[in-house]
């Protein structure tokens, strides 16, 4: 009798497994459909348009002409250079300040809670509204910045109209906007580090700097990797302040890759060139993100 039950159960196991898989696929079907419709299909469409060359009144041809035109365009080279400078000028200071604030404010208390709220406040302000506010801050002669500089005897400066200063002004507002956001991730990462490690290091005579370099920073590796990727994405997708404050100028000094793509697609109606730039942009971001994650998370493990 028992052998019959066992054989019956074994025979029914494949059917139960198949039924479970069908139920799982049915539950995942809506998500898969939306993912295919709004992620994979647009990626395929952009890739196809980047390889399509079509002139008015002629049939479409396929090749790498759009990429050749893209790399020959000096405006694209300028946008890439500005994006690299913008990324270096925003990511490193933002992450350093965010980590410093997280270390200083990780203890629970009324004062630290108030300071955290102040630092996170820029996150709640839409970037368009913040950009409009900073336009008045950087206003030459009558802006808030020049008002206080005038009290120090300094002359008025056209912060957004000078090609040598406009990108620095964009970098400043980005650091102000994102530092508090990144601080939240570092606070969560610090909360996940076992306090026993620090206590053992104190017993061994390790100072605060040694504990930071030997314990805190290595164990924050996954958090740093994640925040770095988020910062890289923000570098490419946050262009609201550029549209509001400079429009890519003066003299292309604040033109970024995403704004260049917008110009080609919407203003010049050159979807092939815009698609080629999009493919290069997304591919570069993916490669850098994978490299950052593999480099910073290598050898980092948390004990349960």
Which CATH number fits the domain that encloses residue 172? 1.10.3720.10
Question: Any residues with CB less than 8 A from the CB of 117 and at least 6 apart, and which?
Answer: none
Q: Are residues 28 and 90 in the same domain?
A: no
- Could you tell me if 191 and 79 lie in one domain? yes
DSSP 213-274: IIIIHHHTHHHHHHHHHHHHHHHHH--HHHHHHTTT-STTTT--HHHHHHIIIIIS--HHHH
**In-domain check, residue 272:** yes
Whole-number pLDDT of residue 78? 92
**Quick one: angle between helices 74-104 and 65-72, nearest 10?**
80
Q: Which domain holds residue 138?
A: 74-297
The pair of structure tokens assigned to 296 is 């910073």
131 and 255 share one domain: yes
Q: What is the pLDDT of residues 50-65, one digit of tens each?
A: 888 766 555 666 778 8
User: 29 with 155, same domain?
Assistant: no
Residue 45 lies in a domain: no
What does the pLDDT look like over 134-179, one tens digit per residue?
Answer: 888 888 877 788 888 777 777 777 888 888 888 998 999 999 999 9
Looking at residue 94, its pLDDT comes to 94
pLDDT of the residue at 24: 80
- Does position 293 have pLDDT exceeding 60, yes or no? yes
Does one domain contain both 30 and 79? Answer: no
Are 170 and 33 in the same domain? no
% helix / strand / coil in the chain, to the nearest 5? 75, 0, 25
Q: What percent of the chain is modeled with pLDDT above 90?
A: 15
- Structurally, the chain folds into a number of domains equal to 2
Q: Looking at 35-39, 100-104, 173-177, which range is the least confident one?
A: 35-39
**Could you tell me if 96 and 19 lie in one domain?**
no
Of residues 106 and 16, more confidence is placed in 106
Residue pointed to by tokens 């933002």 = 94
Residues 83 and 33 in one domain: no
Question: How high does pLDDT run on average in the chain?
Answer: 82
CA dist., res. 268 & res. 274, Å (int): 10
Residue pair 145/169 in contact by the 8 Å Cβ criterion:
no
Q: What is the mean pLDDT of residues 113-121?
A: 86
Q: How far apart are CA 232 and CA 226, in angstroms?
A: 10
pLDDT band, very low/low/confident/very high, at 10 (cuts 50, 70, 90): low
Structure tokens at 85: 């400078």
Residues 198-219 pLDDT 10s: 778 787 777 778 888 888 888 8
Q: Is 99 exposed, middle or buried (0-12, 13-18, 19+ CB in 10 A)?
A: buried
Q: Is the CB of residue 215 less than 8 Å from the CB of residue 174?
A: no
Instruction: Look at residue 171 in the predicted model and tell me its pLDDT.
Output: 92
- Please tell me whether residues 24 and 153 are part of one structural domain: no
**Of 40, 46, 67, nearest in space to 278 by CA:** 46
145: tokens are: 């910045």
User: Which candidate, 46, 51, 87, places its Cα nearest to that of 68?
Assistant: 51
- 35 and 87 share one domain: no
Section 11-28 average pLDDT? 75
211: in domain? yes
Whether 300 has a pLDDT exceeding 70, the answer reads no
Do 107 and 169 lie in a common domain?
Answer: yes
On whether residue 181 sits in a domain, the answer given is yes
Between residues 21 and 178, the one the model is more confident about: 178
Domain presence at residue 233? yes
Of 124-133, 182-191, 204-213, 275-284, minimum mean pLDDT range: 204-213
Mean pLDDT (whole number) for 110-131: 86
**Where is average pLDDT lowest: 29-33, 56-60, 76-80, 266-270?**
56-60
- Is 52 contained in some domain? no
For the entire predicted model, the pTM comes to 0.81
177 with 273, same domain: the answer is yes
**pLDDT value for 12:** 56
Q: Classify residue 269: in a domain, yes or no.
A: yes
Does the residue 129 lie in any domain?
yes
Residue 138 C-beta-side C-alpha neighbours within 13 Å: 24
134 with 245: CB under 8 angstroms?
yes
Residue 155 has, within 13 A of its CA and on its CB side, a CA count of: 2
């Amino acid at each position: 009798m028992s052998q019959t039950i066992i054989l019956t159960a074994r025979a029914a196991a494949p059917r139960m497994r198949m039924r479970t898989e069908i139920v799982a696929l049915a539950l995942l079907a809506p998500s898969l459909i939306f993912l295919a419709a709004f992620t994979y299909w647009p990626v395929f469409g952009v890739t196809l348009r980047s390889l399509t060359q079509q002139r008015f009144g002629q049939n479409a041809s396929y090749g790498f002409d759009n990429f050749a035109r893209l790399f020959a365009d000096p405006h694209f080279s300028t946008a890439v250079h500005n994006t690299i400078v913008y990324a270096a000028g925003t990511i490193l200071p933002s992450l350093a300040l965010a980590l410093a604030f997280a270390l200083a404010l990780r203890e629970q208390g009324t004062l630290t809670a108030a300071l955290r709220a102040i630092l996170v406040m820029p996150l709640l302000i839409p970037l368009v509204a913040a950009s409009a506010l900073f336009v008045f801050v950087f206003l030459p002669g009558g802006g808030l910045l020049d008002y206080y500089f005038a009290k120090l005897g300094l002359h008025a400066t056209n912060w957004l109209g000078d090609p040598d200063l406009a990108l620095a002004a964009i970098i400043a507002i980005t650091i102000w906007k994102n530092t508090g956001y990144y601080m939240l991730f570092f606070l969560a990462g610090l909360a996940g580090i076992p306090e026993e490690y620090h206590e053992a290091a104190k017993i061994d005579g390790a100072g605060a700097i040694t504990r930071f370099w030997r314990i805190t920073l290595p164990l924050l590796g996954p958090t740093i990797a994640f925040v770095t990727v988020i910062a890289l994405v923000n570098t490419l997708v946050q262009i609201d302040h550029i549209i509001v404050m400079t429009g890519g100028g003066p003299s292309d000094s604040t033109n970024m890759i995403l704004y260049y793509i917008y110009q080609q697609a919407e203003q010049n109606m050159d979807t092939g060139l815009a698609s080629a730039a999009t493919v290069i942009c997304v591919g570069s971001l993916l490669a850098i993100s994978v490299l950052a994650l593999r480099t910073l998370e290598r050898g980092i493990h948390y004990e349960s």
